[in-house]
A = this chain, B = another copy of it.
Amino acid sequence: MSSGLSPSESPASEPSASGPLRKGDATRARIIDAATRLAAARGLMAVSLGDVAEAVGLSKSGLFKHFDSKEAMHEAVVQMVVERFVNWILDGAEIQPPGRSRLEGIFDRWLHWAETEWEETGCPIMALSVELDDQPGPLKDLLQGRLREMRRRLVKEFQALRNPPLSEAEAQAAYFQMKSFLLGQSDARRMMGDADTHRAAQAAFQSLLDRTMRPPAQEPPAQEPPA
């Protein structure tokens, strides 16, 4: 059951468990969800509380029963969406044996997240990354921290591609290229309007896996440039 097709919210929604378990927690989740969707589309700073209230069917003042300020809501949005993303990627990693097939599964899950789960708005992680990368503060720290943890895990998966394992530098270089292809796919599909970007990204990634797994061998000489 941990390999469902949709990234699910935090567990324990039934009133049978322990803890406070207020009813309004569901509302809070709906608020965060609506705010995240708006932020992914227009940018976090361009989302007003009125927009969120209307999207979730609540009065503006009603929002303040769940968040003390706009910034607190921003923090909840970033925390929730990066948590869901990392879990979506890493949960998918475990259902495949280590090695190439596991990395293929991770790549496919990442693509599915970006191009299916967030089809209308674009991947919120990429949007937040571009928006927050030049704005130091708790929001960037939160996002950066979780993404770094995830990268550490994935770099290790790349190291396990070969026996003896790849050096950390080699694995980091491979991770850099994998993430690059995922960013490139979003850009090509959403901004440039390309078709078949899914295939292009997967082909590039397969080629990356091929040459990463191949022991460093003799390279055929490059052809001379024409004329």
Contacts and interface: CB of A to CB of B under 8 A. Distances in A.
A22 B150 CA distance: 55
Nearest to A140: B191
Contact of A203 (B140, B151, B163, B173): B173
B223 A220 contact: no
A213 B147 CA distance: 35
A191 B144 contact: yes
A102 B35 CA distance: 45
Contacts of A223: 162-163, 213-215
Nearest to A184: B180
A97 to B, nearest CB: 8
Query: Which interface residue of A133, A162, A188, A215 has the most chain B CB atoms within 10 A?
Result: A133
A79 interface: no
B192 A147 contact: yes
Interface of A is mostly: helix
A122 B126 contact: no
Interface in A177-226: 177, 179-181, 183-188, 190-193, 197, 200-201, 203-204, 207, 209-211, 213-215, 217, 219-223, 225-226
Interface residues of A, number: 69
A192 B145 CA distance: 9
A194 to B, nearest CB: 8
A203 to B, nearest CB: 7
A71 interface: no
Contact of A193 (B43, B144, B177): B144
Contacts of A183: 180, 183-184, 187
A182 B163 CA distance: 31
A24 to B, nearest CB: 30
